[in-house]
Structure 1
Amino acid sequence: MRLLPLILMALAAGPAQPQGFAGMGADAPGFALPERGHVLEFPRDHGAHPDFRIEWWYLTANLEGPDGTPMGAQWTLFRFGLAPGARDGWDSPQGWMAHAGVTTPDAHFAAERFARDGIGQAGVTADPFAAWLDDWHMTSVAGPGADALDALHLAARGMEFAFDLRAEADGPLVLHGDAGFSVKSEGGQASHYYSQPFYRITGEVTLPDGPIAVTGLGWLDREWSSQPLEGAASGWDWFAMHFDDGEKLMIARVRSEADTGGWFSAATWIDAEGATQTFGPDAPRFTPLETARVAGRDVPVRWRVELPPRGLDVEVSAVNPQAWMDTAFAYWEGPVRITGTHPGVGYLEMTGY
């Protein structure tokens, strides 16, 4: 438990600020800042960036069992820096936190782990690619000459669940914003952000009643930054959508304090071959349609999401409204169904409620 104060210090915004779990709610002097025009390079940028304050490796999967029952799985590794740089041994200023979850229509399971840097308990290597915390891992199994993220083996377990999955990409990496420079606010705060949204998933999910063979679609997000969100930010709503025609959409908003109706939003439309079109804050529209009482708070679990320049007008509904990640910095995360002009499936993350 001595690690928890380290993580809490790294999340200097503190648990009272809803965006704090992602480490972007407080100033971070001395750390590197994202730069427009910086060229992302792979496999280098699949690895850790310890000169930046916060980053994550974040895979979500929309799955089905043999009988068609929908479910979701999440595997996430966060790195937090108290100071720039990494060192071997116990004096490394980096800390790690991992989240894993499984969601079915009737149940939601979540687990969380913490680790120190510098002693081998957790970390990320770029080449060969591997991310791990204890026995939770996301490891490249790509063949020679392929991008390291083209094929992954990932596994995690909690008290009542486990999963062992294989992810095979059938499309390219996608850069968000301006060649991976993703603006988060009117003040210009930004991150470096790319995704691999083209995974086909196979494997096994184990629930209290036993193992279930699963197939489905996966989406990996990679993001790092040192910049805080604007002071008025109260949280965010992030949607990753897989449409039945093979196209994809990342669409998100950062909400203003007290959710007065103000927000900063962005979207990336991804065609079936991986070509992208980026949209700024004037294009996306978000309308909560229904809330559910979740962990003592009202959380939107059914949405209307519109992107008029692409003719998108969809309704997004939670597979399980109670998909609450009851972790040290709690949030809602779960699979969704999409109906309307572009039917499909996806994942939704909401913080600050």
Structure 2
Amino acid sequence: MRATINRLARAACAALATLATLAAFVALVTFSATMVLAAPPALAPVLPGQVLAFPRDHGAHPEFRTEWWYVTGWLETPQGKPLGFQITFFRSATDHDRTNPSGFAPKQLVIAHAALSDPEHGKLLHDQKSAREGFGLAYAKPGDTDVKIDSWRLQRSQDGRYHASIAARDFSLDLQLVPRQPPMLQGERGFSRKGPRPEQASYYYSQPQLQVSGSVSRGANRDANRDANRGSQAQAVSGTAWLDHEWSTSVLDENAAGWDWLGANLDDGGALMAFQIRAKDGKKLWAHAALRDASGRVTQFGADQVSFAPVRRWRSPRTDASYPVAQTITIGPHAWQLSPLQDDQELDSRQSTGAVYWEGAVTIRRNGHPAGHGYLELTGYVKPLKL
């Protein structure tokens, strides 16, 4: 009798195992079919002639593939010590089905980078975060600037002021940024070409000459999700900053390796933006520059009027990449000389965007005379950049 019962029990277990396997197979087939039938979302193209409207276009544009809010600037302590800082929030739309009701569905990704340049430290202090949007923990809101990951946040208030709060691994930033000028629309009233084909473009505006006040703390944070900091006291700082906001769906040519970009606040109240897209053979694929003088008049310069020439290179001891950290940019009749606050301003973001790039504070001279301060970004020097 006991043997018979054991045989029946084993048969029942085998049957249940078979049913479980069959159920798992059916679930897998159903899931696979759903994934095949769910078409990726249609993303919006960048088209000329669109009118940027504010404050709406200060906010997120989730119908486009890629977007970023990029703040860079020069700070000064009460003792006159210079510091550079970078705060960047990225939003990236995925190909996940937008109709999926799950709060865990990764429809939008949010990524952030933060960096502090301090010549006394010798190399860049930097940190990064990434998360899927959701549950109030990570988001990029439409309507006006409000982007967040955990305790990191950049928000614009109705009076136009920005507040940036960053509790990074080795430092914290708590900064107020106040516009003193209207937005500077890049390219053709905000339609910025990035290559030889019209679809290789972005919507792009800048906010130069932001007046900055606030505090910087250094030391290891006890908790990366809190503003608590040990090992140093908050130090008051002031200075100027530059904010770029850009969104697009298709930007780079398939032959592009990366870019060199400059945003500079000039001492006379003007602003200078210049960039070149480099091909994989190192030659210029596309370029553009815009100069706004102190009166607000903007002069645009085409690709044939803009050239970047390395003056001195720095080789990274970590990646062996050679970066042209000192350059001369010729824009129309003028030559602009760039010198770094410190050579080592390489940022490794392989845990978030996957790229390693150089983003550094630089001083600006115009035809050999002191002219201002800015930030130089150098991408694609470790390997070709995929955006």
Equivalences for residues 10-159 of structure 1 within 5 A: 30-83=42-95, 89-105=103-119, 106-127=122-143, 129-143=145-159, 150-159=160-169
SS in 1 for 2:349: coil
User: Is the 1:59–1:219 Cα contact (8 Å) retained in structure 2?
Assistant: yes
Counterpart residue number, 1:200: 211
Sequence identity percentage: 36
What amino acid maps onto 2:63 in structure 1?
A: D
Q: Deviations over 1:103-158 (max 9, x none)?
A: 11233111100111132221223446422111111122343xxxxxx211111122
Of 365, 369, 376, the match for 1:348: 376
Q: Deviations over 1:168-208 (max 9, x none)?
A: 11110111111100000112210000111120101111123
Match among 308, 328, 336 for residue 304 of structure 1: 328
Change (3 A) 1:206 1:79: same
Which residue identity does 2:258 align to in structure 1?
G
2:305 aligned counterpart, secondary structure: coil
Q: Which amino acid in the other structure matches residue 185 of structure 1? A: G
**2:194 is the alignment partner of 1:178:** no
Q: Equivalent residue of 1:45, what SS?
A: helix
Q: Say whether 1:332 aligns with 2:332.
A: no
Which of 265, 279, 298 pairs up with 2:287?
265
Counterpart code for 1:300: P
Q: CA deviation at 1:70?
A: 1.5
- Partner Cα separation in structure 1 for residue 261 and residue 180 of structure 2: 23
Q: Do the aligned partners of 1:129 and 1:139 also contact (CA within 8 Å) in 2?
A: yes
Alignment correspondent of 2:31 = none
Answer yes or no: is the 8 Å Cα contact 1:34–1:192 preserved in 2: yes
Taking a change above 3 Å as real, the CA distance of residues 80 and 239 of structure 1, as seen in their structure-2 partners, is same
Contact kept in structure 1, 2:94 and 2:108, CA below 8 Å:
yes
Residue pair 1:284, 1:305 contacting (<8 A) in 2 also: yes
The TM-score with structure 1 as length reference comes to 0.85
- Taking only aligned residues, the RMSD between alpha carbons, in angstroms, comes to 1.9
* Structure number with larger C-alpha Rg: 2
Deviation at 1:30, TM superposition (A): 3.0
Task: Tell me how many residue pairs correspond in the alignment.
Answer: 317
Partners of 1:40 and 1:83 lie apart in 2 by: 26
Q: Deviations over 1:292-335 (max 9, x none)?
A: 11132111110011112xx4212101111110111112111111
Return the structure number with greater strand share: 1
Higher RCO structure, 1 or 2 (CA under 8 Å, sep 6+):
1
Letter in 2 for 1:82: T
Q: What residue is the counterpart of 1:279 in the other structure?
A: 301
| Partners of 1:274 and 1:115 in 2: CA distance | 39
Q: Where does the alignment leave 5 or more consecutive residues of structure 1 unmatched?
A: 1-27, 144-149
Q: Which runs of 5+ in 2 are unaligned?
A: 1-39, 220-231, 382-387
Aligned counterpart for 1:289 among listed residues 303, 311, 315? 311
Report the alpha carbon displacement of residue 79 of structure 1 after superposing the two structures with TM.
0.7
CA contact (8 A) 1:86 1:118 kept: no
Alignment of 1:227-238 (within 5 A): 227-238=250-261
Deviation (angstroms), 1:236? 0.3
1:319/1:337 contact within 8 Å kept: yes
SS of 2:141's partner is strand
Do 1:31 and 1:226's aligned partners in 2 also have CA atoms closer than 8 Å? yes
